[in-house]
Amino acid sequence: MLRRTLNRWLGRDERRVDSRSICVGHRSSSNNEAFIPPKFCDNRIVSSKYTVWNFLPKNLFEQFRRIANFYFLIIFLVQVIVDTPTSPVTSGLPLFFVITVTAIKQGYEDWLRHKADNEVNKYPVTVLEQGRRVRKESEKIKVGDVLEVDEDETFPCDLILLQSSRDDDTCFVTTASLDGESNHKTHYTVPDTEKDLESLNATIECEQPQPDLYKFVGRMHIYKADQEPAVRSLGPENLLLKGSTLKNTQTICGVAIYTGMETKMALNYQGKSQKRSAVEKSINAFLLVYLCILVSKALVCTTLKYVWQNKPGQDEPWYNEKTQREKDTNLYLKMFTDFLSFMVLFNFIIPVSMYVTVEMQKFLGSFFITWDKDFFDPEIKEGALVNTSDLNEELGQVEYVFTDKTGTLTQNNMEFIECCIDGFQYKYQDAGTDLDGFCVTDGPANKVQHKAGREKEELFLRALCLCHTVQVKESPEQGQGQRDGLMDQVDGLGVDGKGLHPPPQEQRGFIASSPDEVALVKGAMRYGFTFLGFESKTMKILTRDNDVERYELLHVLNFDPVRRRMSVIVRSKSGDTLLFCKGADSSIFPRVRQEEVERIRMNVERNATEGYRTLCVAYKYLNAEEYAQADAGLREARLALQDREEKLMAVYNQVETGMSLIGATAVEDRLQEEAAETMEALQGAGMKVWVLTGDKMETAKSTCYACRLFQRNTELLELTVRTLEDGGRRREERLHELLVEYHKKAVQDAPPVKAGVTRAWSSANHDYGFIIDGATLSMVLNSSSESNSSRYKNLFLQICQNCTSVLCCRMAPLQKAQIVKMVKNSKGSPITLSIGDGANDVSMILEAHVGIGIKGKEGRQAVRNSDYAIPKLKHLKKLLLAHGHLYYVRIAHLVQYFFYKNLCFILPQFLYQFFCGYSQQPLYDAAYLTMYNICFTSMPILAYSLLEQHICMEVLLDNATLYRGIAKNGMLRWGPFFYWTLLGVFHGLLFFFGVRYLFGNPALQDNGQVFGNWSYGTIVFTVLVFTVTLKLALDTRHWTWINHFVIWGSLAFYVFFSFFWGGIIWPFLKQQRLYFVFANMLSSVSAWLVIILLILLSLLPEILLVVFRKPRGPHAGQLSQEGLLQTARLHLSHHLPIST
């Protein structure tokens, strides 16, 4: 960040202009003498926060920004400056410990980030310098360098493509890790650049870096020795983005134009901000309450002190005179220092050690995630990864799940499942014994002889082979040879006998803009029709009979999302002109002869419900006249300068009519393992799942159906470019209209939601699903008028919140983050979780409260920027339902317990002031004051907060509804907080007055000897330590040997320590206050009785509550036998305090 600001500041001059000029290869043009090479930032990527020299100040600053740390610092300083009842060590030592531990932890994390950054920055790249190829580290790339990139390498910065090893001056790249689209995109070299890059003398003028991935404007001036400089325009098709990968091209050369933090990828990356969990917010709120209690206690004491001192003889009796200095001090100053002293005396009410314990709990607790063998994926041989341990408990609070589609919900791996020809269903089976590889499954008539005619079959397969924009991937070294080899092979097989089609050419690479086109071509191949590739303008296919057929490709009527279909016009060898068209059922059916539709519609609908992506295939013969007309129309429209799109569309629509339907296909985008089950569990747990994808709407929708996010009875509310244009009116108006309509439907007419119960996917009788696309979303968010904008946003949010699932398609990475941000900041600030696997998900992963990365195929960006990374989507279920739930319960209990135990620790001390003349006399010895939180009571709660399983994991996983029990920060709301505070007050009062009662006669020993004030404190303290520890023991539902060891161990330690501390005259102590106090206490029977009695009395109400609370809750009935008991326990131990 700093670096960026610095760069911005340094590059002020350069920033002012709208464009930057770059000399290709740093060769300044000869005719521009006064050219000063402008400074650009280097290609370093910085994700770390600190450097060695700024670590200490910056980290300390960050740490003391925390309200608690700052508070302890103040207390410490007060203790140093003012004469206070306790020594500065009592608060200085813990504070130092906290600060150091946190600093070490953060330093370690930052060191890991440095390491990762270095790995990127030191990655070797090849730079062409004066004709030589120089290996350099990636961070040394400067703007203007000419780089060479090999196949399957990632571009180290944004490049303008100058040269490609392919003959046609193109190269293929995949931007999977940028926007999630894994298809291959074609990029073009700048026309007319010379083959010899060394002699190329050119400058590039282009716009300043901007985050939009799909926009780029520039110009390139090429200077030649004897000619006028040539100017070429540059567009996004010439730009290779950092983060995308070169595919299917041996090597390319390009000139760096944007580097480092100025690359489009880096600009799409949002600064990593410190994420804070909701629990921490609760802690801060509680802290404020306790701060108020503290201040009011100090105020009360100070006031009473001066009231009391007003009585004669009280302030300075003869036996207790003040020093001269005290007498001289100004009254108001004295009042103020008294106030501060009281603050210091009571400051233990705000637990220092809570922060240490919380930090340790989070840090150590996160190991359970990495250790979990259920998260281990044998394929990638990795388990889960925890990048931030601060958010463990947030996993138990998630209300909104934002998931990416490609690679997250789906495997991004299309597979041809079945087809339907002329109403007959064909399902491919691997056993190719059937004559033609087809076998008929439950078709309309389940008989072989009722299959569609062979003619139709072949027509259908030819259509599949021809109607696409797929290219055959050539293996760079032996492209030609391989193809020949294939031919030989095919010929050989042909001799062996027909019917045996060539072995599946799975290794054969196809490149296409959409993976399902590949799937279709591959599908056709399995049935015997192999697409062999282009030869200039001809498409070659290999038929079932091993004939190579050639078709001349006349026109491609491109796919677009509005038409939702594509066509090709081809001319066969025999001279027939054919039009093949494939597309969504809704766009094909109206354009074919109606009598054919019914037979196929049934199949298509069945396939769609099964979650497959369906396409219909149609064809028509064009006679010469028709073709001539279409040809002319297309050509004319293509050349039009104005309204080209509209004109083309009109021609397309005109051509694609009167076709006959041949069949339909079903392609499966294979879902991730257990994707549907996971989604179901998440919804059952009360989470709302939103799918945010850069993909097409149709694809995304079918995935949603497959994942059971949309059900059959889900009513879809669509707000996309298509629905906006349906009305034929202005988009804005239509948008407004639709929003209001949907709002009425989903929000106003919906039955009132009852506390999260009706949200279950199964129980709601009327589900709504909402679909919106990127373009429309930006209209909603950036509406022209300010008032509309916020209103639309509101309407949109309300609709979305009332829908079971929301699908946002065609999203740019930043738009994903925008959506997450919008939901995050909406009413009730729900906890959001984003899960994704590609770099396009990074911004949303960073934006959400919890970001989860999937260790998928699309690089490591998501994993690196996530808070947690898991190998598979299915692991999300356990991560949230089991780990998240447990972490939340643990930490919530930890926090409440900490406040409780410190309240009943300090309350007796407060009450004691009323009996010691408000003189700030501490009740407990300094050792006890310091050790209470550090040693005596810290370990049991830490063990509890690491090991507690109030409900065992299996039950949590089986009953997703249990997750709702802790929703909305259920255990840290004011209700439970109030309960715990009350309990603390009760215990504190009981301890103090119980012992006060005992000390009515301080002669408690059987030899008549008397106890003093330190004995008093020690008895109270003993009761306190035992009570709070046993209280925790009561709450512990999962007693492992560690719990036993730690609970009984720390009680034993307390006793041992007290003996030890009181058993020796400590030379370094000014006063031997506790000398033999503890031992003497134990020699008194009365003290024993009182201690036992007080402990029992304090725990009695708690025990009674636990025992006599009848189990209740909505889930009790649905749970299994054992589950019932578990739930009962959950409700007993955690829910009852809320309602009492």
- What angle separates helix 594-609 from helix 697-706, to the nearest 10 degrees? 50
Stretch that binds other proteins, among 56-64, 71-79, 562-570, 1119-1127 (CB under 8 A): 1119-1127
Q: Quick one: tokens of 721?
A: 């470019």
Q: Which of residues 1014-1053 bind other proteins (CB under 8 A)?
A: 1015-1017, 1034, 1037-1043
- Rounded to an integer, what distance in angstroms lies between the CA atom of residue 590 and that of residue 658? 9
375 and 878 in contact (C-beta within 8 Å)?
yes
- Rounded to an integer, what distance in angstroms lies between the CA atom of residue 1055 and that of residue 1061? 10
Q: Quick one: tokens of 3?
A: 């670096």
**Does position 919 bind other proteins by CB under 8 A?**
yes
837 marked as part of a ligand binding site = yes
Beta bridge partners of 716: 769
CB of 188 to other proteins, least distance (A): 22
517 marked as part of a ligand binding site = yes
Q: Which of residues 386-405 bind other proteins (CB under 8 A)?
A: 386-387
**Does position 646 bind other proteins by CB under 8 A?**
no
Question: Which of 718/1035 has CB closer to other proteins?
Answer: 1035
Question: Which of 5/324 has CB closer to other proteins?
Answer: 324
405 marked as part of a ligand binding site = yes
**Does position 999 bind other proteins by CB under 8 A?**
yes
Q: Which of residues 809-848 bind other proteins (CB under 8 A)?
A: 839, 842
Query: Is 816 strand, coil or helix?
Result: helix
Q: Which of 921, 973, 985, 989 binds other proteins (CB under 8 A)?
A: 921
What is the DSSP code (8-state) at residue 260?
G
DSSP class per residue in 653-686: HHHS-SBEEEEEEEEEEEEPTTHHHHHHHHHHTT
Q: Which of residues 708-767 bind other proteins (CB under 8 A)?
A: none
Question: Which of 564/875 has CB closer to other proteins?
Answer: 875
Question: Which of 467/880 has CB closer to other proteins?
Answer: 880
110 marked as part of a ligand binding site = no
- Rounded to an integer, what distance in angstroms lies between the CA atom of residue 1029 and that of residue 1044? 11
CB of 419 to other proteins, least distance (A): 33
1098 and 990 in contact (C-beta within 8 Å)?
yes
Q: Which of residues 155-194 bind other proteins (CB under 8 A)?
A: 155-156, 177
Residues catalogued as catalytic: 404
CB of 81 to other proteins, least distance (A): 17
CB of 220 to other proteins, least distance (A): 25
Stretch that binds other proteins, among 64-72, 197-205, 536-544, 991-999 (CB under 8 A): 991-999
Stretch that binds other proteins, among 395-403, 438-446, 759-767, 1121-1129 (CB under 8 A): 1121-1129
CB of 950 to other proteins, least distance (A): 9
CB of 336 to other proteins, least distance (A): 17
Residue (of 213, 403, 238) closest to 862 by Cα position: 403
Angle among Cα 61, 63, 65 to the nearest 5 degrees reads: 70
Q: Which of residues 1096-1115 bind other proteins (CB under 8 A)?
A: 1096, 1100, 1103-1104, 1106-1108, 1110-1111
Enumerate residues 6+ apart whose C-beta is below 8 A from 404.
Answer: 180, 691, 692, 693, 835, 836, 837, 838, 840, 841, 844
Question: Which of 152/636 has CB closer to other proteins?
Answer: 152
- Rounded to an integer, what distance in angstroms lies between the CA atom of residue 160 and that of residue 146? 9
Terminal Cα distance for the chain, rounded: 50
In this structure, which amino acid lies at residue 865?
A: N
Q: Is the dihedral of CA 573, 574, 576, 580 positive or negative?
A: negative
Question: Which of 43/678 has CB closer to other proteins?
Answer: 43
Q: Which of 302, 804, 920, 1027 binds other proteins (CB under 8 A)?
A: 920
Stretch that binds other proteins, among 94-102, 266-274, 749-757, 821-829 (CB under 8 A): 266-274
695 marked as part of a ligand binding site = yes
CB of 764 to other proteins, least distance (A): 31
Stretch that binds other proteins, among 30-38, 150-158, 520-528, 900-908 (CB under 8 A): 150-158
841 marked as part of a ligand binding site = yes
Q: Which of residues 603-622 bind other proteins (CB under 8 A)?
A: none
**Does position 125 bind other proteins by CB under 8 A?**
yes
CB of 1011 to other proteins, least distance (A): 7
**Does position 120 bind other proteins by CB under 8 A?**
yes
Tell me the per-residue interface mask from 92 to 111 with other proteins, x by CB under 8 A, - otherwise. Answer: -----------------x--
Q: Environment class of residue 495 by beta-carbon count within 10 Å: exposed (0-12), middle (13-18) or buried (19+)?
A: exposed
CB of 1045 to other proteins, least distance (A): 12
816 marked as part of a ligand binding site = yes
Stretch that binds other proteins, among 241-249, 399-407, 475-483, 932-940 (CB under 8 A): 241-249
Question: Which of 551/912 has CB closer to other proteins?
Answer: 912
582 marked as part of a ligand binding site = yes
Q: Environment class of residue 595 by beta-carbon count within 10 Å: exposed (0-12), middle (13-18) or buried (19+)?
A: exposed
Q: Which of residues 313-372 bind other proteins (CB under 8 A)?
A: 313-314, 317-324, 367-368, 370-372
**Does position 1002 bind other proteins by CB under 8 A?**
yes
The number of beta carbons lying within 10 Å of the beta carbon of residue 1053 is: 17
Stretch that binds other proteins, among 260-268, 416-424, 563-571, 711-719 (CB under 8 A): 260-268
65 marked as part of a ligand binding site = no
917 and 320 in contact (C-beta within 8 Å)?
no
Question: Which of 117/422 has CB closer to other proteins?
Answer: 117
CB of 863 to other proteins, least distance (A): 6
Q: Which of residues 1067-1096 bind other proteins (CB under 8 A)?
A: 1069-1072, 1075-1076, 1079-1080, 1084-1086, 1089-1090, 1093, 1096
Q: Quick one: tokens of 757?
A: 């119960």
Angle among Cα 612, 615, 616 to the nearest 5 degrees reads: 140
Q: Environment class of residue 308 by beta-carbon count within 10 Å: exposed (0-12), middle (13-18) or buried (19+)?
A: middle
245 marked as part of a ligand binding site = no
Which segments of 744-812 does DSSP mark as H helices, in order?
A: 774-781, 786-801
Question: Which of 424/897 has CB closer to other proteins?
Answer: 897
Q: Which of 494, 499, 917, 1049 binds other proteins (CB under 8 A)?
A: 917
- Rounded to an integer, what distance in angstroms lies between the CA atom of residue 219 and that of residue 234? 5
810 marked as part of a ligand binding site = yes
The 3-state secondary structure of 141-194, one letter per residue: CCCCCEEEEECCCECCCEEEEEEECCCCCEEEEECHHHHCCCCEEEEECCCCCC
Query: Is 691 strand, coil or helix?
Result: strand
Q: Which of residues 848-907 bind other proteins (CB under 8 A)?
A: 859-861, 863-865, 869
Counting residues that bind other proteins (by CB under 8 A) gives 130
Q: Environment class of residue 1081 by beta-carbon count within 10 Å: exposed (0-12), middle (13-18) or buried (19+)?
A: buried
Query: Is 879 strand, coil or helix?
Result: helix
Enumerate residues 6+ apart whose C-beta is below 8 A from 808.
Answer: 690, 691, 692, 693, 771, 772, 773, 774, 777, 815, 816, 819
- Rounded to an integer, what distance in angstroms lies between the CA atom of residue 940 and that of residue 518? 60
Stretch that binds other proteins, among 221-229, 491-499, 765-773, 915-923 (CB under 8 A): 915-923
- Rounded to an integer, what distance in angstroms lies between the CA atom of residue 523 and that of residue 1059? 82
Enumerate residues 6+ apart whose C-beta is below 8 A from 734.
Answer: 723, 724, 725, 726, 727
613 marked as part of a ligand binding site = yes
List the binding residues for Mg(2+).
Answer: 404, 406, 837, 841
List the binding residues for ATP.
Answer: 404-406, 517, 559, 582, 613, 693-695, 810, 816, 840-841
List the binding residues.
Answer: 404-406, 517, 559, 582, 613, 693-695, 810, 816, 837, 840-841
